């Protein structure tokens, strides 16, 4: 009996009952970030080389000042594309093997890939409009 009363009270309280329905809900895909941190070589293969989307690879380091400036600019440029491109963040101190494999000799280095092939790359900081053009060229 007490259980039924409890169920009745709980069922009458819903976290959705106070939901503001005047604003549209975002689709689940928009809640996911378009960028991710590479965990290991297999993760890089799965999420970059085998990606159906074009991918920007941001080779960076924690100690790199210019990387801290470029990172947010890249995030902004990627966000403007609304899911048409993703970005892989690779810390060169954690993934030296990937940095060597892709010829990274300075940071920040950004490599654009489509279908597992390198399309373009640059080293250093770029302005937002230059990054937008770079990303747009990758998308095609």
- Catalytic site positions: 64, 67
Contacts of 11 (CB under 8 A, 6+ apart): none
Cα–Cα–Cα angle for 112, 116, 118, rounded to 5 degrees: 35
Helix, strand and coil in the chain, % to nearest 5: 40, 20, 40
Specify the residue for token string 């770029």. Answer: 126
**Token code pair at residue 9:** 């009270």
**Token code pair at residue 73:** 């600019």
Q: How far apart are CA 59 and CA 108, in angstroms?
A: 6
Task: Look at residues 125, 128, 57 and name the one whose alpha carbon lies nearest to residue 86.
Answer: 57
């Amino acid at each position: 009996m007490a259980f039924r009363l409890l169920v009745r009270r709980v069922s009458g309280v819903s976290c959705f009952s106070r939901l503001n329905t005047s604003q549209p809900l975002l689709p689940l895909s928009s809640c996911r970030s378009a960028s991710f941190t590479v965990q290991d070589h297999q993760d890089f293969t799965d999420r970059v080389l085998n990606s159906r989307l074009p991918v920007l690879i941001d080779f960076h380091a924690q100690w790199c000042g210019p990387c801290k400036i470029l990172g947010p600019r890249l995030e902004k440029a990627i966000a403007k594309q609304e899911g048409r491109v993703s970005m892989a963040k690779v810390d060169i101190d954690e993934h030296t093997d990937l940095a060597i494999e892709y010829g990274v000799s300075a940071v920040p280095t950004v490599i654009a890939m489509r279908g597992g092939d390198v399309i373009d790359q640059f080293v250093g900081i770029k302005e937002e409009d230059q990054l937008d053009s770079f990303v747009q060229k990758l998308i095609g």
